[in-house]
Structure 1
Amino acid sequence: MTAKTILDPCCGSRMFWFDRNHPSVVYGDIRTEQRTLCDGRTLSIFPDVPLDFRSLPYEDGAFKLVVFDPPHLRKAGEVSWMRAKYGALDADTWRDDLRAGFAECFRVLANDGVLIFKWNETQIKVREVLALTDQKPLFGHPSGKKGGTHWICFMKTAPQEDTPDAAR
């Protein structure tokens, strides 16, 4: 059995994964459901582990790679295909929820591990979301028809020890 070294805590239907059952990945989500979309396709959300990205059930430093693709919508109809496909944030607590999500994702990320963050700015600008973490991204890239989806890469570095040489 391959060790699970990658965490996707908001996997949804695993849309962007080339291998939707990769043996190194823990696919997690708060939702478990299957429904038919308006175009007749079936949307299936069946995580390996039901979990809430705001409170991850893993030890500190457990993963080498974390893919954080949380819901990006504050407003979506209760039965809309957008909510079904992408999930939705709580309109009142989204800042606290995403702040907690970032903190948890970085907590379970190993030192020198990589966090890939995906965000679509349909309703909330990426700069507002990045302000919810004290971690600084290394690089990123907008994509999509209107450049509204952002892929952003972070690396968790080990805390620096205070040494006499560091004060110079």
Structure 2
Amino acid sequence: MTSAVKVLDPCSASRMMWFDKQDQRALFGDIRDEQHLLCDGRVLKVEPDVLMDFRQLPFEASTFRLVVFDPPHLTRAGVDSWMRAKYGLLTPDWKDDIRRGFAECFRVLEPEGILIFKWNETQVMVSELLALTDEKPLFGHKSGKREKTHWITFMKR
């Protein structure tokens, strides 16, 4: 990893929220490396720079200025569904997974580093997630047609 890399996206999937999907300031990670043919003929590619598990990040403490934490938000989805292919699926131990994920994301952040947390509360409410970390968010915003996607900003103490 070069010193120019200051942003970590440990659950990048297909990098759909990124304007520049090859941004050299960011390291894109995911537990998956796979391709799917969607029903409309498009190919969905999950191609991380580094295979990683957000519950156990392979980096030293205080490595990144910014972490974007956008873990899978689905507890249930069809085995071959496009939702599962696009977003991934939480394990049955999702509360412990997310708790560990928050802890790891804050561990690899520099002091006063910023964590952007993205969550869609289609199946699990944001309040349940925020209870899984002792860190307190600074501010957030709901987006989407039904305002189910939450963008929440934290600053490491």
Alignment TM-score > 0.5, same fold: yes
Q: How does 1:97-112 map to 2 (within 5 A)?
A: 97-112=97-112
Distance 1:98 1:75 in 2: 16
Deviation at 1:3, TM superposition (A): 1.3
Deviation at 1:2, TM superposition (A): 6.0
Distance 1:29 1:74 in 2: 18
**Aligned match of 2:14:** 13
Identity %: 63
**Aligned match of 1:133:** 133
Instruction: Provide, for residues 37-88 of structure 1, a one-character-per-residue CA deviation record: whole Å limited to 9, x for no partner.
Output: 1111110000000000000000000000000000000001111100000000
The answer to whether the 8 A contact 1:5-1:24 is kept is yes
Larger Rg: 1
Q: Could you tell me which runs of 5 or more consecutive residues in structure 2 were left unpaired when the two chains were aligned.
A: none
- Residue-pair matches, total: 156
Structure 2 residue matching 1:66: 3-state secondary structure: strand
Q: How does 1:1-168 map to 2 (within 5 A)?
A: 3-90=4-91, 92-157=92-157
Q: Could you tell me which runs of 5 or more consecutive residues in structure 1 were left unpaired when the two chains were aligned.
A: 158-168
Distance 2:115 2:8 in 1: 10
Structure 2 residue matching 1:27: 3-state secondary structure: strand
RMSD over aligned Cα atoms? 0.8
